[in-house]
Chains A and B, each alone.
Chain A
Amino acid sequence: EDQVTQSPEALRLQEGESSSLNCSYTVSGLRGLFWYRQDPGKGPEFLFTLYSAGEEKEKERLKATLTKKESFLHITAPKPEDSATYLCAEKGSSASKIIFGSGTRLSIRP
Chain B
Amino acid sequence: KAGVTQTPRYLIKTRGQQVTLSCSPISGHRSVSWYQQTPGQGLQFLFEYFSETQRNKGNFPGRFSGRQFSNSRSEMNVSTLELGDSALYLCASTGVGDTEAFFGQGTRLTVV
B25 contacts partner chain A, Cβ-Cβ < 8 Å: no
Q: Is B83 an interface residue (CB 8 A)?
A: no
A106 vs chain B, min Cβ distance (A): 16
Tell me, yes or no, whether A42 is within 8 Å of chain B by CB: yes
Q: Is the CB of B42 within 8 A of A101?
A: yes
* Interface residues in chain B, defined as those with a beta carbon under 8 Å from any beta carbon in chain A: 4, 6, 31, 33, 35, 42-43, 45, 48, 50, 55-56, 58, 88, 90, 92, 99-106, 108
Give the shortest distance, in Å, between A60 (CB) and chain B (any CB): 18
| Interface residues on chain A, number (Cβ under 8 Å) | 24
A42 with B42: CB separation less than 8 A: no
Task: Kindly state the separation between the CA atoms of A51 and B102 in the bound complex, as whole angstroms.
Answer: 17
Q: Select which of A43, A97, A101, A103 is within 8 A of B103 by beta carbon.
A: A43
Q: Which residues from chain A contact B43 at a C-beta distance below 8 Å?
A: 44, 87, 89, 100
Residues B106 and A98 in contact, CB atoms below 8 Å apart: no
